[in-house]
Amino acid sequence: MLFISGRSFESTRENTVQPPQPNILFLIADDWSYPHAGVYGDPTVHTPTFDRLAAEGAVFENAYCAAPSCSPSRASILLGRYPHQLGSAGNLWSVIPTKFPNWVSLLAKAGYHTGKSRKGWGPGDFEAGGYQENPAGKDYPDFDAFLKDRKEGQPFVYWFGSHDPHRIYETNTGVKTGMDPSLVVVPEFLPDTPCVRNDMLDYYYEVERFDRESGNILQRLEAEGLLDNTMVIMTSDNGMPFPRAKANLYDHGTRMPLAIYWRNHIEGGKRIFEFVNFVDFAPTFMEAAGMEMPQSFSGKSLLEFFNSIPDHGLRRDKVFLERERHANVRKGDLSYPSRAVRTKDFLYIKNFEHDRWPAGDPNVHQSVGQFGDVDNSISKYLIMAMEGNPTDKDYFQLAFGKRPFEELYVLADDPYNLVNQAGNPKYKAIKASLEKELQTWMEETNDLRAREPQTDYWDKVLYTPDYQKENFDLSEQVDSYKMLLRDGGSFKEMSCNQ
């Protein structure tokens, strides 16, 4: 069944009886959080490409990745299933199985030209799972090379997986390009110091680079006359690489920028508040291409939101989130398993192994340093240096400390998810109802943790060996941050004098 634009939205083009299958351009950043885009009101970062897609298409206010970690998030995008439904692929640095239908492969079989540049599914070992090439498509050096390989008139799927704004950052790139540190909105889980502001600017610098490169692809598409029939998706895989963000179920780990453009199908400037999860992408693309929907998909197509139907409240008012093992940073290869439900008003999290360290063990583990689920950065080491000396908040505890079995955040008062209200009698009934919803979802999606909360399944999943190879030089990097923290002179050089 092919989706045709809504009755209240008039097509500007003469449609033939059978419109051609749309092309799909999937632009995905690596570690970019909501609300760091111009259209969301961020005063510092410039994202003209994202803003244009939002202005001429739809922008989502409540889009969430399925898990705040590269490999499981990307697996859920490609396979349309929650990470806990994907076996080993629920972990970072894992193996992705071929037994679940993948929308890119299905569209390739149906005659689409498919391919990707840079980061597709990963990190992990796709060959060990039975894939011949990356699950996001055959690798091409760039969009031009991909287009050259396309037959005349052939519909296509192109996945552009930037490595931005994943760390490591080149220090001071933000200030050097004229960004103003005083405009940075420092998330309240980070100390507001010049050093953290500077680190945020370096992150913004890479967000802008992703936006610029995405803009170049759009320009090329337009020049080829292909934009009119292309659905363009621009988003990220998980949140910003800062403490209490990436690899956490809080908003800065899971809430994602998302804009979708599809001329003649989406009314420009649409702002969508429905709660959507990345498992919804696969069914969206299958429906847009007029393909039969695989039974295995857990998500629901987003196409219904593109029609101009008056909004009578939210049709989707919650999302479910999860995490298992991110980096291998706990003794015994242990995961830090959590599940959560996020509604408009509340975030409820269950930490199944709350005796473990959420950000990784405090002792140095292999080559990844302490608290290895947090990417190494000057912000991380600044907060580590604050241990035992809380300032306006206990940033160390927020970033690295152990957490209780249950967490409940009341979003109207606490947008940064800082004050756990799980023990507050005022919210007892709310908490019980959220807990029940979470449990029901876990049972309905056949989550092993629904019947076996302490399962060691994800602890035992192989951590693919490439990891050690590719991160060999991390200890050197850790030492350099420690030196910076000791050395006031270097701080000044980095605009980190505090």
Binding site for Ca ion (CB under 5 A): 30-31, 70, 237-238
- SS3 letters for 47-79? CHHHHHHHHHCEEEEEEECCCCCHHHHHHHHHH
Give the shortest CB-134-to-Ca ion separation in angstroms: 15
Residue 343 CA, chain-centre distance (Å), reads 18
Question: For residues 121 and 136, what is the distance between their CA atoms, to the nearest angstrom?
Answer: 6
- Tell me how far apart the 2 most distant CA atoms of the chain are, in Å: 70
Nearer to Ca ion by C-beta: 74 or 403? 74
Give the shortest CB-31-to-Ca ion separation in angstroms: 4
Q: Which amino acid is at 492?
A: K
Give the shortest CB-291-to-Ca ion separation in angstroms: 28
Select from 127, 24, 120, 131 the least CA-distant residue to 73. 120
Nearer to Ca ion by C-beta: 149 or 470? 470
CB 65 within 8 A of CB 256: yes
Residues 6 or more apart from 157 whose CB is under 8 A from it? 23, 24, 26, 104, 107, 108, 112, 113, 114, 115, 137, 285
Strand, coil or helix: 218: helix
Give the shortest CB-89-to-Ca ion separation in angstroms: 15
Nearer to Ca ion by C-beta: 246 or 300? 246
Give the shortest CB-231-to-Ca ion separation in angstroms: 23
Give the shortest CB-92-to-Ca ion separation in angstroms: 9
Q: Give the residue ranges of DSSP H helices in 159-280.
A: 173-176, 194-223, 251-254
Q: Residue 342: phi, psi to the nearest 5?
A: -120, 120
Nearer to Ca ion by C-beta: 117 or 238? 238
Other CB atoms closer than 10 Å to residue 470's CB: what's the count?
Answer: 11
Give the shortest CB-30-to-Ca ion separation in angstroms: 4
Q: What angle do CA 343, 349, 353 make, to 5 degrees?
A: 165
Residue of minimal Cβ distance to Ca ion: 70
Question: For residues 347 and 316, what is the distance between their CA atoms, to the nearest angstrom?
Answer: 15
